[in-house]
Amino acid sequence: MPLWSTGFIFTKFGLPYAEPMSFLSVRFALVVPLMIGVALAMRAAWPTRAEAGHSMVVGILLHGLYLGGAFIAMAERVPVGVVALIVCLQPVLTATAVGAALGERVRPVQWLGLLLGLVGVAMVLWRKMGLDGGLEAEGSLTGYAFSGLALLGITASTIYQKRYCADVHPASGGVYQYIAAAAVIVPAAALTESWRVDFGAPEFLFALFWLTVVLSVVTVWLLMVLIRRGAASRVASLFYLVPPVTALFAWMLFGETLGPLALAGMAVAVLGVALVNR
């Protein structure tokens, strides 16, 4: 999960040099041939027509809605640590839905952990959104709305992946995922942006490399393996570890700060992880 946290950090590094949807479009253009090469090198079994269709749905939800929402949220100046924290409400929604969708049972102590995670997130947002009547809100309402869209995307993709793509190889399935995501993101960039991308900026090129190779291939592959091998609600609960790590990186690199209440909220959320994974 610390590796997953770097996705938020390197997105923040790259966004000054590219519009969010254009950034993602370039990323997907590089990822698709890379994933094809990985699938061929691993001699992965290719999905059936039905499995390919399900993989494309996962791609739209995970790489389209989740990544698109997160990129736009950060472009709208929502603090990196806050975007990570909102997205990591995923276990709450996942645990609510798994009973009906997957037949998984969530025990009372896990519900307590999920509740603590929700309380921890609220403690952080209370100040960052200006709800305390003090400092001006950081980021726009649009940004927070897209953070919520990212949350819905990654939650739905976790449940859908577990139910319909459990037997699909992460590499070959990933090819269809990224093709489907590109089919959504590229038109969105064409309709709403001017394709501003500064390929001459070393910071952008390094961020693009990290997000393309490490995040799009290595980390997402690890996530898919975790979902295939474990209960969806327990896999999702690991995401509570992402906000504190992301917040630490954001403080060191961008000067983003958290007050005492927000730090306490982070601690409460981490406690929720321990309870969910008991």
8 A C-beta contact, residue 64 and residue 181: yes
**CB burial class (10 A; 0-12, 13-18, 19+) of residue 146?**
buried
Q: Residue 210: what are its φ and ψ, rounded to 5°?
A: -65, -45
Q: What angle do CA 105, 236, 130 make, to 5 degrees?
A: 120
CB neighbours of residue 164 within 10 Å: 16
Do 153 and 65 meet the contact criterion of CB atoms below 8 Å apart? Answer: yes
pLDDT at site 239: 61
Residue type, 258: L
Amino acid occupying residue 140: S
Question: What count of other Cβ atoms lies within 10 Å of the Cβ of residue 40?
Answer: 13
Q: What is the pLDDT of residue 90?
A: 79
pLDDT tens digits, residue range 105-156?
Answer: 777 877 887 788 788 877 877 766 655 555 556 777 889 899 999 999 998 9
pLDDT digits (tens, 9 = 90+) for 184-221: 999 999 999 999 999 999 999 999 999 998 887 776 66
**CA 33 – CA 158 distance, rounded (Å):** 24
Beta bridge partners of 197: 18
pTM: 0.84
Cβ within 8 Å of residue 60, ≥6 positions away: 180, 181, 184
Range among 64-68, 91-95, 122-126, 240-244 with highest mean pLDDT value: 64-68
